[in-house]
Amino acid sequence: MITHFSQLQLTTVSLPGVRQFYHDLLHFPVIAQTDTEIRFQPAPHLTLSFREALEPLRPAHLAFEVPYSQFDHVIDRIQRSHIPLLAWPDGRTVDDFGGRKNVYFRDGDGHLLEIITHSYITEGILQPSGELNILYLREVGLPVESVVQFRETLVRLFSLKLDRLEDDFTFAIGGTAHFVIVSKQRRWIPIAMAALPPSLQVTLGISRLECMETVMNNLKSEGISYDFQEDQLYFTLNGFDFCLKITDFDDGIPKLLNLPLSR
Ligand SMILES: [Fe+2]
């Protein structure tokens, strides 16, 4: 049903600061800029936008997937931009375990970014994009009071699949999109960053109108109000703004990528 993260909107206290970090250092193409918002396109099927908010920020966590064969090269690019990689308590910055490698760094607002790669992902299905060879936005972190309750709501609404079912941590997965549902009590690795629920809007891609109708019916039966405008469905869950949108991201891609829960 859900194919991918199509858009993520976060907040910033400095649009020029965001532009310097994401455009000048990470080389994300800017596709729109106004007095209150800037929008980047890290990959053809993904936009990342920042809205100016005159309030204290609660930093978000997001992770971009890159090809396994390109990981070292991507980390090299990041280091050449003099962006400090965050260290684990033992001092290492790259975590390499069981065919999964990742690094973390922060933007000027403190949002916690991750570059992640998995050896099981079939290369050549999605074209790596930009200087960082981004395939797609893999993770968006959602800190909540009750992980169990929230993951069950997501399963009922979107038929997401679950992985790593722990009381304070779970992946809720639809296509390439992995929500990281964490307890507000559990801190983000590797720097023990407090998991405060960020202000964000996440747009989920779907491939068919029937999916939209199914979610609308599910929202109705849960008693959750929604707005349907210009073919997009808007609603709020646990303080997070969601949007559903039909895109041309083929729903066969997650399986072709060899994502474990799409095989
Ligand atoms: Fe992560």
Q: How remote is the CA of residue 102 from the centroid of ligand 1, in Å?
A: 9
Question: Across residues 106-122, what is the average pLDDT?
Answer: 98
Question: Across residues 99-109, what is the average pLDDT?
Answer: 98
In a domain, 190, yes or no: yes
Q: How remote is the CA of residue 34 from the centroid of ligand 1, in Å?
A: 30
In a domain, 195, yes or no: yes
Residue-level pLDDT at 41: 98
Q: What sign does the dihedral 190-12-49-171 (CA atoms) show? A: positive
Q: How remote is the CA of residue 32 from the centroid of ligand 1, in Å?
A: 27
The per-residue pLDDT for range 132-166, each reduced to its tens digit, is 999 999 999 999 999 999 999 999 999 999 999 99
Q: Give the helix ranges, DSSP H, for the chain.
A: 15-18, 71-80, 147-158, 209-222, 253-256
In a domain, 99, yes or no: yes
Q: How remote is the CA of residue 223 from the centroid of ligand 1, in Å?
A: 31
CATH number of the domain enclosing 88: 3.10.180.10
Q: How remote is the CA of residue 20 from the centroid of ligand 1, in Å?
A: 23
In a domain, 25, yes or no: no
pLDDT band at 55 (very low <50, low <70, confident <90, very high): very high
Q: How remote is the CA of residue 45 from the centroid of ligand 1, in Å?
A: 20
Residue-level pLDDT at 28: 98
In a domain, 92, yes or no: yes
Question: Across residues 89-107, what is the average pLDDT?
Answer: 97
The per-residue pLDDT for range 194-227, each reduced to its tens digit, is 999 999 999 999 999 999 999 999 999 999 999 9
In a domain, 257, yes or no: yes
Q: How remote is the CA of residue 238 from the centroid of ligand 1, in Å?
A: 20
Q: How remote is the CA of residue 220 from the centroid of ligand 1, in Å?
A: 32
The per-residue pLDDT for range 231-248, each reduced to its tens digit, is 999 999 999 999 999 999
44 preceded by a cis bond (ω within 30 of 0): no
Q: How far apart are CA 146 and CA 105, in angstroms?
A: 27
Residue-level pLDDT at 142: 98
Grouping H, G, I as helix, E, B as strand and the rest as coil, residue 129 is strand
Q: How remote is the CA of residue 106 from the centroid of ligand 1, in Å?
A: 13
60, pLDDT greater than 90: yes
Q: How remote is the CA of residue 141 from the centroid of ligand 1, in Å?
A: 7
Q: How remote is the CA of residue 210 from the centroid of ligand 1, in Å?
A: 31
pLDDT band at 14 (very low <50, low <70, confident <90, very high): very high
Residue-level pLDDT at 57: 95
Q: How remote is the CA of residue 189 from the centroid of ligand 1, in Å?
A: 8
Written as one letter, the residue type at 136 is Y
- Mean of the per-residue pLDDT values for the chain? 97
Q: How far apart are CA 47 and CA 33, in angstroms?
A: 13
263, pLDDT greater than 90: no
Q: How remote is the CA of residue 59 from the centroid of ligand 1, in Å?
A: 13
19, pLDDT greater than 90: yes
In a domain, 38, yes or no: no
Residue-level pLDDT at 207: 92
Domain coverage including residue 180: 2-7+56-262
Q: How remote is the CA of residue 159 from the centroid of ligand 1, in Å?
A: 22
Phi, psi of 198 (to 5 degrees): -75, 160
In a domain, 210, yes or no: yes
Residue-level pLDDT at 170: 98
Q: Are 140 and 171 in contact (CB under 8 A)?
A: no
Angle of helix 147-158 relative to helix 209-222, nearest 10 degrees? 130
pLDDT band at 86 (very low <50, low <70, confident <90, very high): very high
Q: How remote is the CA of residue 62 from the centroid of ligand 1, in Å?
A: 6
Cβ count near 164 (within 10 Å): 9
Q: Are 219 and 157 in contact (CB under 8 A)?
A: yes
Question: Across residues 24-32, what is the average pLDDT?
Answer: 98
* Structural domains in the chain (count): 1
Q: How remote is the CA of residue 65 from the centroid of ligand 1, in Å?
A: 10
Residue-level pLDDT at 250: 96
Q: How far apart are CA 106 and CA 40, in angstroms?
A: 17
Q: How far apart are CA 168 and CA 185, in angstroms?
A: 8
Cα–Cα–Cα angle for 256, 208, 240, rounded to 5 degrees:
90
Question: Across residues 167-181, what is the average pLDDT?
Answer: 98
pLDDT band at 252 (very low <50, low <70, confident <90, very high): very high
Percent of the chain with pLDDT strictly greater than 90: 99
